[in-house]
Structures are given as C-alpha cells and as structure tokens.
Chain A
Amino acid sequence: MLPEWLPWLLQVNDSQFPSGAYAHSMGLEELTQRDYIRKPEDLEKFLHEQIIPSLKAFELPFLARAHAAAAAEDLNTVRALDDELEAWKLAAELRQASRQLGSRRLVMAHKLENSALLEQYAKRDAPCHHLIICALELRTLPAAAAGCAFGLQTLSGYATASMKLMRMGQERCQLIVRHAMATLAPHIESAMRVEDNSHIGWFNPLLEISSMRHARAQERLFIS
C-alpha cells in the first residue's frame, strides 16, 4: 500500500520546489575557482570523501534529534537545536544560506500544509536553518525517510550547482547523484540512530574557508 506521506515527500523534494536552492553552491563555487574541483570526477570524489561522511557524522544525526522533537511537537527543543546549529555553522555565508533556504521552505510548507505548528514556529523569530525546517516539514514521515530526503537535497544541490561551474551535462550529473545516494542510503538509518550526541560533528576546514572566501569574492555566480 502506498504510504500516505509519499506524495507529500515527492512534492517537497522536487527540484521545482521553490526553496531557492538553485541560487546556492554552498562553497563549491570557490572550490572550483581555486581548481580544487575541476571536473566531474573531482565532484564525485568531493561528494564521497567530504559530503557523504559529513552527512553520516553530523547532519543526519542532528536531523534525527530535530525530527524527534518536531514529531513530538516540542517546539522549544526544535528552537534550541536551531540555535545550536547557528553556532555550528562557523562560515557566515553558509550560515546565512542555510537560514535563507530554511525560511523560504518554511513559508512554502506553511502555505501548503496550513499547519498551526509551522505557523507557531514562524512566529518564534528563530534562525530557521534548512535542516531544522526539513525536520518540521517532514515530521510525520519515518525518520529514515526524512534523512533520505535531506541527503538527496544536499547531494543533488551540489551536483546541480556544479553544472554551472564545470563542463558537465544532466546525464552525468544524475549518474553522480545516483552513485552518491547508493553509497549514502545504506547508512541513513544507522546515522539517524546515533544516541551519543556528544560525538557528532565533522571536520571540513576546506569547505568552511572556501565559503568564507566566497563571501568576499569580487565576482560570483551563486549567493553562497
């Protein structure tokens, strides 16, 4: 039987969903300008060596915490996690990008769902980080499904942005996303079951620095 949440998930994860993600490269633009990532093979390596490990070690366990709080409609905990995420994001441009994406997603999700919970959260003057709003938006889904959706958004966001930054076509882009998701998917449930939150986190100074430099770049295609 078709899960009742599936159509909703497909809609909010569709590339046409107006979250504004198309305008962000999340640090990738600077990395390509510095030739750290030049070709599709480099992008694939970047996703597998830097982004997927980060999803497994940080974003997905964090999403699990936020998703559990959102499912319980515990907005105080959701807000505390939103504030904590603000401190995790050391690069100001990545922090701002996450807030922009989350805020847009919250507005759209509220319009579609007309939820009192989302309306209450919108009134809290919270940072509205993308991960937190995804947790709220997907709170009625199984946690692993929410994690899968968030993982796909992250990976396809980088892959889609890279098509404007290097010579790469749609077909190659989709192959890269498929391969990355095939690598990530078997780990999603375990990543979202992490019980000891004191050990979540990931080290990526390169991406943080690239974002910091991008914020001050003279020329740029993407907002972040």
Chain B
Amino acid sequence: MKGHLHLACALRDGSIPYLREQSFCAPMHLSKPHVDAGALVTNLVNPTAGIFDNDEINLNFTVDPGASLVLTTPSSSRVYRSRKGDTALVRQTMTVGAGGFLEFYPEPFIPHAGARYRQHNVIQVAPGGELLFFEWLSPGRVARGEAFEFEELCWDTDVWSGDVLIARERYRLRPDDASLKSLRLPFDLAHYLGCFVILPEGVPFPQAEVEALGGDVSSVYLGSAPLAGNVNAWTVKAICRDSLVTRKLLKDLRTVIYQARGKAQPTLGRY
C-alpha cells in the first residue's frame, strides 16, 4: 500500500495554531486536532493493523514560524512479518521554521517476528526553531515470548540545524549478527529510547534533571550530551529494562524538558 500524510501547521491571528494544509491517503489518517497549552495536538493514525511488507508511506510535517505542533500516535506502530521478503518503507520529513516548535511523541515501535522495515527520518530545524523528537524501539511482542525476532530493521536519521548537519545515525539491526549485542548487554529484553532536543539559545538543557531519571541503573542506562554545531541541541539515549520503565522514562523526560522550556505540557489525552 502506498500512503502518505502531509501536514502543515501555521498560526492564525498570531497565536492559534491550525492545520493550514493536510493531505492523507490510506493507510494513514489523523485525528481531529485540538489546541492545548498553545500547541496543536494531532494524533497520527494508522487504522489498519499496522505496516506490512511492501508498504511505502511518506510523512511530511511542516511547522511554520511561530507555530507549535505536537504529533503523537494513539497506539503502537506494528510492522508485520514480511511474507514475500519485501521491506516496508516509511519516510518522515519534519521541517520547523524559526520560532516554531515540533514535538514528535510516538507510542512504541513493535517489530513482529520476520518483519523487514526501513525508516528514513530527515529533521530540518531553522535557527530559532525548537524540537523534541522521541523514538522508542521495542524488542517485539515480548508477552508472547517473541523478542528480537524481526528479520531486519534499518534506521536512518539526519537532524539539521539550518544548513548544518548536527546528528546522523544509520543502523541496520538484525538478530543474526552482532548489531543488537550492545543494546542487549544491560538487559536482554531491552527497549531503546532515543531523543533529540533543540532548545532556544539561552534556555539551559536540564542535564542534571535528565540524568537523575537514569539514577537506577538496574532498570535504565541513560546518558545525554550536546550535539555537534553551535546550537543548543542535545541527544538523550536510554536502554531500558522493559516497557513499563520505558513508558515512565518517556513521560518523565517529556516533563523535565517542558519544565526547562518554561511551558505547560500539552495533554496527549491518554495519561
């Protein structure tokens, strides 16, 4: 299935964010957006069971200068077994204008046994724009005893601040080679949480508070660091013991970063 979801968020009357442009095609849909705490909260919905091999989905999100957009998902993203050996492909492009803010807060990504999946993320933030981007990779359907049984996951992420590449990640995960060894060393059924943050100049990143969230190394192994480039950009990475620990960390991390921004958290409607 070839689908897409294109959204552009702008400001109306100088203060109210709205979708000035929206276009979607199955398997993607979106909820009715609502404004909360000054941001437009939009749920990205895949009303089918999930992503299948040979699916190709293009997601484009644009935040105009001054606007705030929070993107989330109401449920986990599942990628199913590749039946013919084909790979599902998702391309995500996120563009944030000066003074704009984009938060991307997904539910966990769950690769089923035999899944083949490739994801490209290109995040472009103009100087003066803000970003809060999370990703959560789970081992699979752990409750069914199915962990790290996918065939192959490929992940490409580029983060740009203006015309400077500040973060690049490329990895190919396969259970039959060494690519999962480091993730599984602290916890055999590890969940991986990654986060990129770009804050306005002058807003200190709450590093001590973030690191305090990883105080219990028996359940979370967490670190944070400034990214390359002369911008106030950071990454947080964590390896978590299980889904409950990951969910709590994600929620707490979000709280800490919103506190640092001096902004109220938009409600996602499920906590």
Interface residues of chain A, those whose CB is within 8 Å of chain B, are 34, 36, 48-50, 53, 57-58, 83-84, 86-93, 95, 198-213, 215-216
Contacts and interface: CB of A to CB of B under 8 A. Distances in A.
A53 to B, nearest CB: 4
A90 B185 contact: no
Contacts of A34: 217, 221
Contacts of A198: 156, 170
A33 B84 CA distance: 46
Contacts of A201: 156, 169-172
Contacts of A210: 223
A87 to B, nearest CB: 4
Max count, chain B CB within 10 A of own CB: residue among A83, A202, A203 = A203
Interface of B: 154-156, 158-159, 165-173, 177-183, 185-186, 192, 194, 207, 211, 217, 221-229, 235, 237-239
B183 A90 contact: no
Which of B222, B237, B238 gathers most chain A CB within 10 Å?
B237
A200 B170 CA distance: 7
B270 to A, nearest CB: 27
Contact of B237 (A199, A202, A212, A215): A212
Contacts of B171: 201-203
Contacts of A216: 207, 211
Given A53-B178, A203-B155, A209-B239, 4 more contacts: A90-B169, A92-B226, A199-B154, A203-B182
Contact of B186 (A36, A58, A84, A204): A36
Given A36-B185, A49-B178, A90-B235, A206 B168 contact: no
Contacts of B180: 203
A210 B225 CA distance: 11
A155 to B, nearest CB: 15
Nearest to B168: A87
B117 to A, nearest CB: 14
Contacts of B227: 87, 90, 92
A171 to B, nearest CB: 27
B211 A95 contact: no
Contact of B173 (A87, A203, A209): A203
